[in-house]
Amino acid sequence: MRYRAAVLIAFLAGAAACGESPRHSSSMDPAPAGARIALGAAFVGGNPRGLRSLLHPDLVVQPPRPDAALRGARAAAYLTTLAVHTRVDESRLEPRAFAPEGPFVLEQGTWVMRTGDRVLGSRYHLRWRRGGAGWQVVLWRWTAFR
């Protein structure tokens, strides 16, 4: 895995596209708002408190290039390491569409990160699953930040 500063810079400044559309969108928010806020905030301050509890054991992470997709414990370790090494003043997930699918909710939106006066955004897709441990992410895909 690549966790060097150059990869993190590429993560924040690169350009990639992800053009998937939701099958159903709604102005209602069926996804876990509190979990979403904690998920986004885990990337502020270098101490991702509670991040692991929001990640399903079968998590699939699909980051932008040059990094590759990961699954399970490796995916969770990737996100935790990324959160520890990301230095931003603010990180939030702004949902725009939802698609309830049985025990899952597909969420699409913009991931916004701010450092000083610079604001970068990325499109994201999350698939949440509700289970015995509460709401957890089973899929997290995002584009490069611009």
72 within some domain: yes
Region of residue 68 (phi > 0: left; psi between -120 and 50: alpha; otherwise: beta) = beta
pLDDT tens track, the chain, 146 positions: 443 333 333 333 332 333 333 444 444 456 688 999 999 999 998 889 899 999 999 999 999 999 999 999 999 999 999 999 999 999 999 999 999 988 899 999 999 999 999 999 999 999 999 888 889 999 999 999 99
pTM of the model: 0.78
20 within some domain: no
Residue 28 is predicted with a pLDDT of 47
134 within some domain: yes
80 within some domain: yes
Identity of the amino acid at 11: F
132 within some domain: yes
| 139 neighbors 14 (Cβ within 8 angstroms) | no
Half-sphere exposure of 12 (CA within 13 A, CB side): 21
Q: Where are the beta strands (DSSP E) in 18-146?
A: 55-62, 70-71, 90-101, 104-115, 118-131, 134-142
First to last CA, the chain: 23
Give me the domain span that covers residue 100. Answer: 30-142
21 within some domain: no
Residue 47 is predicted with a pLDDT of 85
CATH of the domain at 98: 3.10.450.50
16 within some domain: no
Number of domains in the chain: 1
